Amino acid sequence: MKMKELEAATGIGRETIRYYIREGLLPEPVRPKRNVAAYGREHVKRLNLIRKLQQERHLPLSVIRTIVTSETGEPAGGFEALIGLEVAMGPLLAEGRSLAPRKLADVAKDTGLGIDEIRSFAGIGLIQIDKRDGGEWLNQRNVRIMEIIAQTRADGFTPDIGYTVESYEFYPQLIELLARRAVVGFYSRLGDKLDQPAAAKLAVNGIRTLSEMVPLILIDRIVRMVEKVSESGVLPAEEDEV
């Protein structure tokens, strides 16, 4: 089909279509002759999917590009039906608690942590700062992390004995690996088997399981490590293989 027919079939204008092609969201048309472009059903399908992801999931084009394309240029796998799963998970994770974000400055005031220090924690990946309406905000999970940091300071884990921002840098690196493997495993196994409500419920149950299991594993390993140090009288290096 010609560009005019593609516009009519999708309701999307030619300038937008050309922009999607330039940005890699759409495959190039077949060009049997110079200045002649032929579009097929795959273009209609891809444009409809892009519009759906924009209108229903409110996703940016950078994310949509990942979803709709792969190395072969074909639409992504069955997991695309679960894009936006975090929206369905939100109410299940809230359990009646407010998830309203708070201004970074208010969190700093309430915790006693400096604004620049909170930004430094974001710099190492311990938290994430959201920027909107010209301000800096923390979601409730990140607010709680800063409250915990403030409590550790009150307990004695202070910068003057070595518990600086940098001393926490290793933890988000470990958590990033755990989170990545959990998410990729979930989508890979279940992306084409569950609808979004069922997937959201299962995902939240999985998060709760991890949130209970991982701290217990960590505590157990720390206690056993302390026992090993007591028995051997040798302190292992931090970078030693486990």
Kindly report the CATH number assigned to the domain that includes residue 155: 1.10.1660
**Is the domain of 67 the same as that of 95?**
no
- Judge whether 155 lies within some domain: yes
- Around Cβ 229, how many Cβ atoms within 10 Å? 12
Q: 99-133, pLDDT tens digit by residue?
A: 688 999 999 999 999 999 999 999 999 999 998 88
Give the per-residue SS3 of 134-178.
CEEEECHHHHHHHHHHHHHHHHCCCHHHCCCHHHHCHHHHHHHHH
**Is the domain of 59 the same as that of 150?**
no
Q: Residue 219's domain spans which residues?
A: 90-232
Pure H helices in 58-139: 61-68, 85-94, 104-111, 115-123
- Judge whether 82 lies within some domain: no
- Around Cβ 34, how many Cβ atoms within 10 Å? 5
- Judge whether 242 lies within some domain: no
Closest to 144 measured CA to CA, from 189, 89, 211, 99? 99
Q: What is the pLDDT of residue 195?
A: 80
Kindly report the CATH number assigned to the domain that includes residue 64: 1.10.1660.10
**Is the domain of 131 the same as that of 193?**
yes
Confidence (pTM): 0.65
Q: What is the pLDDT of residue 71?
A: 40
**Is the domain of 118 the same as that of 51?**
no
- Judge whether 120 lies within some domain: yes
**Is the domain of 70 the same as that of 23?**
yes
Q: 56-76, pLDDT tens digit by residue?
A: 767 778 777 777 764 444 444
The CA distances from residue 213 to 8, 95, 142, 182, in Å, are 54, 20, 21, 14
Domain boundary residue, one of 31, 51, 76: 76
- Judge whether 240 lies within some domain: no
- Judge whether 15 lies within some domain: yes
Domain boundary residue, one of 44, 76, 108: 76
User: In a 3-state reduction of DSSP, which class is residue 102?
Assistant: strand
**Is the domain of 69 the same as that of 105?**
no
